[in-house]
Amino acid sequence: MSKRIGMEIALATAEAVALCRPDVIAAYPITPNTHIPEHLSDIVAEGRLDAEFICVESEHSAMSACAGASGTGARAFTATSSQGLLYMYEVLGIVSSMRLPVVMAIGNRAISGPINIWNDHSDIMTMRDLGWLSLFAANGQEAVDMMIQSFKIAEDAAVQLPINVNLDGFQLTHMVEALFLPDEKEVDRFLPRRKPYAALHPDHPVTMGALGMPDIFTEATKARDQALVDSRTVILKVWKEWEKQFGRRYEPIEAYKTKGADVVMLTMGSMGETAEIAVDELRRDGVPVGLLKLKLWRPFPFEEMKKAVRGVKTLIVTDRCCSLGGPGGPLAAEVRSALYAEAARPAIENALIGLGGRDVTVDDFKQMFRQAGKSKGIYEFYGVRG
């Protein structure tokens, strides 16, 4: 039976991974993700998990090891942050194109430079188009739950794609929270052993990752895109199963006090819980505001987004990174695209917040709500000095 404990979220995430009985864990330490693989190495060393823990020399090697392990039919896991994710980059698209269901935790951290070890979402946004499923946790409980859900989603016969779970660096990874941690029997009941579509074995040779000539590359890309789009059905099914067994509900977009709201804010990650307090305080003052929290980044929940903003006059999209020289933040660009053909779409404003770990307080969120309708451009660096 699940037990309620107080634990650092990174350690709880590692415990959740261990409950999924991965066969291979390959990782290289990098702040603020390090506590996840470090704790997993302890769990393996203590004999609590029968797995191969591979101490690699780089993140590129970590993802390469996971690719090879997953190709043999093993359940593979890794974790990283920021520059480490960039160092994996060459292999990330290969893992997706080979349909290998590797699971990765990302302790989100700003991409340098200047050198910054604190949280924003510039790391994950570099890989948004590489064919990985992508989830965002808002708190420790979601980080634990999503890790377990991810193995079942990625390994489903209809998906067979890699997935990442994003938890904000320091603001989540290093926080101690009260959460429910399932026991092994519960996870075993929820998560079956992996059944690979094909596996590398010397007695039964197969080819993986062969040369794709121009006459088949378009079709291969189309197939991968379709699998990613169709994975939405599996994600929703797994979330329903999770709710039935554990009682906690997950949706692509979670609405908070949006009924009757003229102005609604969209967040992704841990900032949503701070924004909730701002919504509560403004609602008590009679200001009709609400909040949407995005949990599913890829595949993007187009239909849920359209439904969530019906009747809303202004939508404030918060981004924790900047698409330099582009339309502001990546999330806002996605939302504008999703709503482009909607005749009654809300006015969309884009606030770039919390870059490089800068604090965004309840008062800051209240100020953003109050400034709705006064935006002077397509996006704004909120709180910028000078």
In DSSP terms, 76 is beta-bridged to 24
Q: Over range 103-115, report the average pLDDT.
A: 97
Residue 1 has pLDDT above 80, yes or no: no
In DSSP terms, 288 is beta-bridged to none
Q: What local confidence, expressed as pLDDT, does residue 175 receive?
A: 98
Residue 3 has pLDDT above 90, yes or no: no
Q: Count of alpha carbons within 13 Å of 22, Cβ hemisphere only?
A: 30
Which residue segments constitute the domains of the chain, with CATH numbers given? 3-246 (3.40.50.970), 253-381 (3.40.50.920)
Three-state helix/strand/coil letters over the chain: CCEEEEEEHHHHHHHHHHHCCCCEEEECCCCCCCHHHHHHHHHHHCCCCCCEEEECCCHHHHHHHHHHHHHCCCCEEEEECHHHHHHHHHHHHHHHHCCCCCEEEEEECCCCCCCCCCCCCHHHHCCCCCCCEEEECCCHHHHHHHHHHHHHHHHCCCCCCCEEEEEECCCCCCCEEEEEECCHHHHHHHCCCCCCCCCCCCCCCCCCCCCCCHHHHHHHHHHHHHHHHHHHHHHHHHHHHHHHHHCCCCCCEEEECCCCCCEEEEECCCHHHHHHHHHHHHHHCCCCEEEEEECEEECCCHHHHHHHCCCCCEEEEEECCCECCCCECHHHHHHHHHHCCCCCCCEEEEEECCHHHCCCCHHHHHHHHHCCCCCCCCCEECCCCC
* Digit-coded pLDDT (tens) for 174-193: 999 999 999 999 999 999 99
Q: Which residues contact 199 (CB under 8 A, 6 or more apart)?
A: 71, 72, 73, 206
Tokens found for residue 271: 């900032």
Q: What local confidence, expressed as pLDDT, does residue 303 receive?
A: 96
* Digit-coded pLDDT (tens) for 13-27: 999 999 999 999 999
Q: Over range 111-123, report the average pLDDT.
A: 97
* Digit-coded pLDDT (tens) for 16-74: 999 999 999 999 999 999 999 999 999 999 999 999 999 999 999 999 999 999 999 99
Strands 253-256 and 289-294, by their bridges, are antiparallel
Decide if 271 contacts 243 (C-beta within 8 A): no
Q: Which residues contact 227 (CB under 8 A, 6 or more apart)?
A: 99, 158, 159, 160, 161
Q: What local confidence, expressed as pLDDT, does residue 21 receive?
A: 98
Q: Over range 353-382, report the average pLDDT.
A: 95
Give the mean pLDDT of the chain: 97
Whether the full predicted model's pTM is greater than 0.75, yes or no, is yes
Q: What local confidence, expressed as pLDDT, does residue 158 receive?
A: 96
Q: What local confidence, expressed as pLDDT, does residue 376 receive?
A: 80
